[in-house]
Structure 1
Amino acid sequence: MSSLPNSVHARDVEYLLHPVTNARRHEEVGPIVIERGEGIHVYDDEGREYIEGMAGLWSVGVGFGEKRLAEAAYKQMLKLPYYHSFSHKSNEPAIDLAEKLVQMSPERLKRAHFTNSGSEANDTVLKMVWYFNNARGKREKKTFISRQNAYHGITMVAGSLTGLPVNHRDFDLPIIPVKHLTCPHYWRNGQEGESEEAFAQRLADELEQTILDAGPETIAAFIGEPLMGAGGVLPPPAGYWQKVQAICRKYDVLLVADEVINGFGRLGTMFACEHYGIDPDIMVLSKQITSSYQPLAAILFSDEIYQGIADNSAKIGTFAHGYTASAHPVACAVALENLRIIEDEGLVENAARSGAVLHRELKCFEEHPLVGEVRGVALIAAIELVADKATKARFDPVGKAGAYLFAKGHEHGVILRAMGDQIGFCPPMIITEDETVELVRRFEMTLADTYTWLKNEGVIAA
């Protein structure tokens, strides 16, 4: 960090409060100021190059510096830089995008509604579900079911749905009726001698019993990421989603698929619902919908839900919800061009190809003394670091190894994500097979340094 009082680093520390950051620690170390990006790389203001192994925040699917997206935004700004979608107003990019999303998504989903972020979208989902259930005379149906380790956003409602304790602590969350069930992570939560199928059945039984104990008339929806992201990149056990879906249908519980991270090719299929055979009532999309070049999220939902909401809006006189920038024309224009790039460049297929290389290369670390598990699907993966391989014991405190590895990665030119001691990989979907090998090579050097440091610190046996 520069000591000059007028440096950009000093001004950052003086004026900004950063999200998901230890503010006091930030005062000591200052920021890495990212100045530009190109392809899978970003560059800081001192000229250092990094492979962006997390695509920003799981989101820059088409890579950095994509001129087609800049041009789409520029053209739309010249034509119509902003307009709202309240009171019967609309714009062509929003209409085109809604049609495109409905056509490419699971068959049950017939309508679209736009917000600015995944957090806003999941807040809106809760309001829509409550509004819908009230409209059909089921006013007790208010409780949502989520999972431990789930991530559904950071606002008051979405943060309540999230199942990570750090996101609740001292924010006085949850503030809504929500039940968090066992995280579907077989390696960590499976019982001794329990098969993967038996684990999935145990979780299904837990879901059904939770519904019965509360009363089906009180349970509104089950919300889940098809593959859990920020909780550690956790693929579900085989058969899990089919069991969950059957129970939801049995008890008139809406099924919400949160594809904010999964969607638009990350798992080697356009949507994770396709990969896992999920037929949701509601699907939430964001991040890669614009490759985060513009803030945008979409909620896709069934005609049954639309009809209930529409009838209630006629009764009340309005659907009294929305944001100033809902269906923003520039964001929608960028999203449309982003989807064209994903299709034109075959990025869904590339995610499957480069993802296979990523998992092949990461699998080589399975015998490393720090590595407990290597997991993921296609172009999203994680390595879980453990203090003791035989017992799967976590580090004390949790995150000690992950934080060091994350910081050390910058020295080797790679940006990853430490979720405690779980190290996430989620590079732009444009990454080539050779670039994927280089990404893992930089990680390998980082892991070696981390192992040496832990031994020197006496955290693990020398």
Structure 2
Amino acid sequence: MPNSNFAYDIADLTAKDRDHMIHPWVDLGTVQSREPLIVAQGEGACIYNVQGQRMIDGIGGMWCVNIGYGREEMAQAIADQARKLCYFSPFGIIGTPPSIELAERLTRHAPGDLKHVFFTTGGSTAVDSALRFVHFYNNFKGRPNKKQIITREYAYHGSTLLSASVSGKPADRGRMDLITSFIHHLPAPNPYRRPDGMSLESYGDQVVGDLERKILELGPENVACFIAEPLLASGGVIVPPPGYQRRTWEICRKYDVLYISDEVVTGFGRLGHIFASEPVFGIQPDIITCAKGLTSGYVPLGAFLVSDRLYSELTETAGKGQSFSNGYTYSAHPVACAAALTNLDIIERDDICGHVQRVGPYFHQQLETLTDLDMVGDVRGSHFMVCIECTADKKTKAVPPAEWDVARRIFEKCMPRGLLIRPMGHLIVFSPTLVISRAQIDEAVAILRACMSEVQDDLRRDGFKIAA
């Protein structure tokens, strides 16, 4: 335990939470009656609540605490930079040593000619800024009609108006006003939900063809970009068919459509590489967005990296009198950039990507053992991002009725036993810190198996039918 002194007034904190906090993504009808999880400390792959209870953090904060909790080296780097220079305006040709060094450092890891970096405050603003850059670029090039954006259902790209509009999770789109005039969603490339009897190869042809058909329907001269997470993360860790990423990238090149790879989740080691686009999926995007693992969540920071081919067209004589009028008060924040540099030092020095490559497959394999449970329909993902999909019928793949509240039930049983998971309707998502050990994986899977078995028995006892 990092600090045994858990002297918190839990009742007072709970009351203040209910009276004053507005939490994202919670059932508003239950916020006044449910007990909040109040996390006080963290160390390595674990967190501790205010009662002092240890839990393996199966969600890595929010896909982001890649190097683990409690890194003294990170705390020191943040403090040292705050003492030197806590902040300065990022506007105009103004930089700080950490932001300049970080920009260069990121381009060393980036594929192709992604040699220019625009810093933001997080993943949502990175995506928002990248999309605005694409529209700015086409206006600059005298192509004002080339503005249509293609994305996918069950994608998640952020919470600003523009980034939320290109997101495609149905649960996030209710009661929200979103941009629809130039944004188009393709069906999610989810092999588990492919038509009965269709081969994986044929399904791959279908979902790749969805992109080409949409580009031709809209007219290539009107399509600005295709934005895609390599794996659809919070939409349920959807793993597209083999070759999908490369084939869709090639279609974009064929029709002069920019390809944006949203690596906010998959970057900085989660799939075993700093950026997964080229080493894992064989693509060299025009733009990569990143955040989360960029600082391992120690402080907020986001960025998009853009191709030298694109950026060079905007500069020198052609760009005289023009400016990309997009930015944030905390763009390229020196403290955040110093944290990101130290984060990269740790990832490289401790061979965290190598650890993910070695241990990630074991994590996935251990979770796959849960498929012997009647209500587990699918276990999918890669390395340290995995989803378990629960079903009411393994043969028909029927989604459990909402009243089962199956993932929430499992979540509530896991916490007292020392495991934190992410419940999403009938899905359970895992994205642990990248320093989790094999022993901690075994502990987590054992807890999860026991809790899922209990929930399965409880549901049957309540009269719900689960068909094996």
Say whether residues 1:159 and 2:164 are aligned partners: yes
Match of 2:387 among 382, 385, 407: 382
2:6 aligned residue: none
User: Structure 2: which amino acid aligns with 1:387?
Assistant: A
Superposed displacement of residue 138, structure 1: 1.1
1:133 aligned residue: 138
Q: Check whether the contact 1:118–1:153 (CA below 8 A) recurs between aligned residues.
A: yes
Match of 1:243 among 221, 224, 247: 247
Distance 1:176 1:65, change over 3 A: farther
User: Structure 2: which amino acid aligns with 1:8?
Assistant: L
Distance 1:76 1:366, change over 3 A: same
Say whether residues 1:27 and 2:7 are aligned partners: no
Distance 1:187 1:46, change over 3 A: same
Distance 1:424 1:145 in 2: 26
Match of 2:213 among 201, 209, 215: 209
1:150-189 equivalence runs, <5 A: 150-175=155-180, 177-188=182-193
- Greater mean alpha carbon deviation, residues 355-364 or residues 333-342: 355-364
Distance 1:124 1:312 in 2: 24
2:5 aligned residue: none
1:111 aligned residue: 116
Local SS of the residue matching 2:370: coil
1:342 aligned residue: 347
Q: Check whether the contact 2:373–2:453 (CA below 8 A) recurs between aligned residues.
A: no
TM, length-normalised to structure 2? 0.95
User: Structure 1: which amino acid aligns with 2:177?
Assistant: D
1:270-285 equivalence runs, <5 A: 270-273=274-277, 274-285=279-290
Match of 1:78 among 64, 67, 83: 83
Distance 2:303 2:416 in 1: 37
Distance 1:415 1:110 in 2: 38
Match of 1:297 among 291, 295, 302: 302
**Structure 2 segments unaligned to the other structure (5+ residues):** 1-8
2:422 aligned residue: 417
Local SS of the residue matching 1:24: coil
Local SS of the residue matching 1:144: strand
Distance 1:317 1:359, change over 3 A: closer
> Can you list the C-alpha shifts for 1:12-64, whole angstroms capped at 9, x where unaligned?
00001101111231210131111111111111111111110010101000111
2:231 aligned residue: 227
Superposed displacement of residue 129, structure 1: 0.3
Percent of residue pairs bearing the same amino acid type: 38
User: Structure 2: which amino acid aligns with 1:374?
Assistant: V
Superposed displacement of residue 382, structure 1: 1.2
Q: Check whether the contact 1:59–1:292 (CA below 8 A) recurs between aligned residues.
A: yes
1:368 aligned residue: 373
Distance 1:211 1:293 in 2: 40
- Greater mean alpha carbon deviation, residues 249-258 or residues 20-29: 20-29
RMSD between aligned residues: 1.7
Distance 2:262 2:443 in 1: 31
1:197 aligned residue: 201
Q: Check whether the contact 2:146–2:223 (CA below 8 A) recurs between aligned residues.
A: yes
Q: Check whether the contact 2:402–2:425 (CA below 8 A) recurs between aligned residues.
A: no
1:426-441 equivalence runs, <5 A: 426-441=431-446
Superposed displacement of residue 316, structure 1: 3.9
Distance 1:133 1:421 in 2: 41
Distance 1:156 1:345 in 2: 38
Superposed displacement of residue 459, structure 1: 1.9
Superposed displacement of residue 282, structure 1: 0.3
Distance 1:217 1:108 in 2: 24
Distance 1:411 1:444, change over 3 A: same
Say whether residues 1:450 and 2:425 are aligned partners: no
- Greater mean alpha carbon deviation, residues 393-402 or residues 211-220: 393-402
User: Structure 1: which amino acid aligns with 2:441?
Assistant: T
TM, length-normalised to structure 1? 0.96
Say whether residues 1:38 and 2:36 are aligned partners: no
User: Structure 2: which amino acid aligns with 1:254?
Assistant: L
The number of equivalent residue pairs is: 458
Say whether residues 1:310 and 2:315 are aligned partners: yes
Q: Check whether the contact 1:131–1:309 (CA below 8 A) recurs between aligned residues.
A: no
Q: Check whether the contact 1:144–1:178 (CA below 8 A) recurs between aligned residues.
A: yes
Q: Check whether the contact 1:62–1:338 (CA below 8 A) recurs between aligned residues.
A: yes
Distance 2:300 2:410 in 1: 30
- Greater mean alpha carbon deviation, residues 268-277 or residues 66-75: 268-277
User: Structure 1: which amino acid aligns with 2:211?
Assistant: L
Q: Check whether the contact 1:157–1:176 (CA below 8 A) recurs between aligned residues.
A: no
Local SS of the residue matching 1:119: helix
1:355 aligned residue: 360
User: Structure 2: which amino acid aligns with 1:279?
Assistant: Q
Deviant stretches of 4+, over 6 Å: none
User: Structure 1: which amino acid aligns with 2:420?
Assistant: I
Say whether residues 1:257 and 2:261 are aligned partners: yes
- Greater mean alpha carbon deviation, residues 320-329 or residues 402-411: 402-411
Local SS of the residue matching 2:133: helix
**Structure 1 segments unaligned to the other structure (5+ residues):** none
> Can you list the C-alpha shifts for 1:319-358, whole angstroms capped at 9, x where unaligned?
2211000000000000000011011111111112221221
Q: Check whether the contact 2:150–2:183 (CA below 8 A) recurs between aligned residues.
A: yes
